[in-house]
Amino acid sequence: MEYTRLGNTGLEVSSLCLGCMSYGEPDHGSHPWTLTEEQSRPFIRKAIELGINFFDTANVYSDGTSEEILGRAIRDYAARDDVVIATKVNGRMKPGPNGAGLSRKAIFSEIDASLKRLSTDYVDLYQIHRFDYHTPIEETLEALHDVVKAGKARYLGASSMYAWQFSKMLAVSQANGWTRFVSMQNHLNLLYREEEREMLPLCKSEGIGVVPWSPLARGRLTRAWSEQSERSQTDEFGKGLYTRNTEDADKRVVEAVAKIAQDREVPRAQIALAWLISKSEISAPIIGATKLHHLDDAVAALRIRLTAAEIQALEISYIPHSVVGFS
């Protein structure tokens, strides 16, 4: 395993982050394709054995059961101080007023609930799960700063939003002397590269670590264009990320991945991940794993160095996409 600093911080994280959205009780929330706790634990254990020390979840994943599963597995398989746990806040956790969002009330309530589910006194990275249009930025940022000062979080991160929004939040934090965001968790892969226009340059300029989600485009980059998985058929959020408007171009990208993978005699997932890892702005892609070989493929991708010609072949068919994933 390779390790890197998260942005301009001294925090060392593995160059791969295990995303835990796939781990949660299927009858909780809107992810019927998730693995139960018994099914999930071998993946977390193997990730630790492979040297992965970075784990990402969120309060809304399977109504909090993802956090519970991760917390118990970390307790059993690792020393707490040896791992980096990231979770998120914003999504709706209960009906009625103050059951979602980034108000001071919601943040204070949700950090305590997450810590309880994770069976820990602190999270290493506390991230806002999208931008909140209904709460003043100052209220959110001061509340997050207070969470850090209370010792409940070590660092702060953000997730998908417009670059102007993130830039404004960074400026407000700096102006008030509040704890600054150190990472951006955004949507980036060979089928969705809109983040290259503004967000990646902003993060590079500001020393922000980038931990992209869906690096394999919900598996589309790992299989034949016409092939579907159980998740692709039931993942309502995922269905909105890739549309028919760019289907022809997307298909050519998938075919380019397949050709390079065939030439190198490696799985397609390794090529798609190697392309993302080759970007200097990237700290650690967030990988999903529902088969144990997914973890092996991800680690193997760290050793692949694509040539300039291969990168060009992977990128040449891309066309602009509608901005998605911000809500």
Q: Three-class SS string for the chain?
A: CCEEECCCCCCEEECCEEECCCECCCCCCCCCCCECHHHHHHHHHHHHHCCCCEEECCCCHHHHHHHHHHHHHHHHHCCHHHCEEEEEECCCCCCCCCCCCCCHHHHHHHHHHHHHHHCCCCEEEEEECCCCCCCCHHHHHHHHHHHHHCCCEEEEEEECCCHHHHHHHHHHHHHHCCCCEEEEECECECCECHHHCCHHHHHHHHCCEECCECCCCCCHHHCCCCCCCHHHHHCHHHHCCCCHHHHHHHHHHHHHHHHHHHHHCCCHHHHHHHHHHCCCCECCCEECCCCHHHHHHHHHHCCCCCCHHHHHHHHCCCCCCCCCCCC
Q: Cα–Cα distances in Å, from 286 out to 17, 130, 216?
A: 5, 16, 10
- The sheet with strand 17-19 has its strands ordered as 209-210, 181-185, 153-159, 123-128, 84-89, 54-56, 17-19, 286-287
Q: Is 122 a catalytic residue?
A: no
Strand partners, 5: 12
Do 102 and 89 meet the contact criterion of CB atoms below 8 Å apart? yes
Catalytic residue chosen out of the listed positions 3, 23, 61, 77 = 61
Active site residues: 61
